[in-house]
Amino acid sequence: MIQRVILTLATITLLFVGIVSFTSYEAWSWPLELIAHFRNQYLIVSLIITIVLVLLWRKHHLQHRLILIIALVVLGLNAIDIMPWYLPNPQRVDVNTPEKMRVLSFNINTQNTHLQEIVNLVQDTKPDVALFIEVNRGMVQKLKTELKESLPYNFRSPGGGLAIFSRSPIKNAKGENFYGQGNHNLIATLEIDRKPVKFIGTHPLTPITRRTFNYRNLQLNALSNYISRLNQPVILAGDFNLTPWSPYYRQLIRRIKLHNTRLGFGILPSWPRTTTYINLKEWMIPLLNIPIDHCFVSKHFKVANIYTGDNANSDHAPLIVDLVLHS
């Protein structure tokens, strides 16, 4: 009796996971695209179901192997999308050199009042360039004061809540929304090893409504068009409100031809995190945790390391990336 109940629950769960796993590949519409972002969770659930079904089969409680075969197919489908993030990647390099450039990308959240924790995080991680997202004028002023020795150069975009702080001079910095196509982007030129590097910070709108979904996609399209015309080293970072398993992510990658610095280091989910202003239980984090903050680089860079840092009371964890610009 118990085995029959377990088999029934496993079959129903497998059916659901199988449907969302296959559907997410073509989830171009809202709100269907939202199901595409939880591929890692689908992998874990499909693995548990497969193990349960194998045990039932070995105990002769599973009469037909077809359901076990389907479970293995669903498991393999999800594993194919997860495993490449953990496999060796040619753009990853194991190097310990003073020529490394450290990039920090951090969505602070405008509701976050723990600014000293953010300052401490920056001082501990010692980035060469830091992109802050969802910052207002007061936050930027605080950061300017506290980081004036380590990151003396800065620029705040006139729109989009973006600010860049740098150890080296910032040139030609501007806010750009590409004629109203989505939210603002921050574009600047940095000099690294005497080479001009285009740094782009972005924060497309959260696709929780059809309107913001369309604006996010407009912004991604405009960014793609802009980056595809660049012929120099590029760093693109920010909160994209997009995971690697969305069809819009795959479209973006095909167009910009940049490298996600996560490859070879793991998924590194960056959102959500517990805070004092968002009522989210700790046990819910693994169920919802997804990678929506990204750092992309052109072929001119190798990636020495990437990890997520302490969230400093933000609902996002910062991405810290060590890059090596090669000739």
- With a cut of 70, say whether residue 327 has pLDDT above it: no
Taking the C-alpha atoms of residue 101 and residue 253, their distance in angstroms, rounded to an integer, is 23
Q: Lowest-pLDDT range, 36-45, 60-69, 176-185, 257-266?
A: 60-69
Give mean pLDDT, residues 247-265.
Answer: 97
The CA-atom distances, in angstroms, between 306 and each of 103, 179, 265 are: 9, 33, 7
How does pLDDT run across 136-172, given as a tens digit for each residue? 999 999 999 999 999 999 999 998 899 999 999 999 9
Domain limits, CATH 3.60.10.10, in the chain: 101-325
Q: Lowest-pLDDT range, 29-38, 55-64, 303-312?
A: 55-64
Superfamily of domain 101-325: Endonuclease/exonuclease/phosphatase (3.60.10.10)
pLDDT of residue 315: 97
In the chain, the DSSP E strands lie at: 101-107, 129-133, 153-156, 162-166, 170-176, 185-192, 195-202, 234-239, 259-260, 293-297, 301-308, 319-325
The answer to whether the beta carbons of residues 105 and 237 sit under 8 Å apart is yes
pLDDT of residue 303: 97
The model's pTM:
0.95
- With a cut of 80, say whether residue 95 has pLDDT above it: no
The CA-atom distances, in angstroms, between 282 and each of 6, 9, 21, 288, 317 are: 28, 26, 26, 11, 15
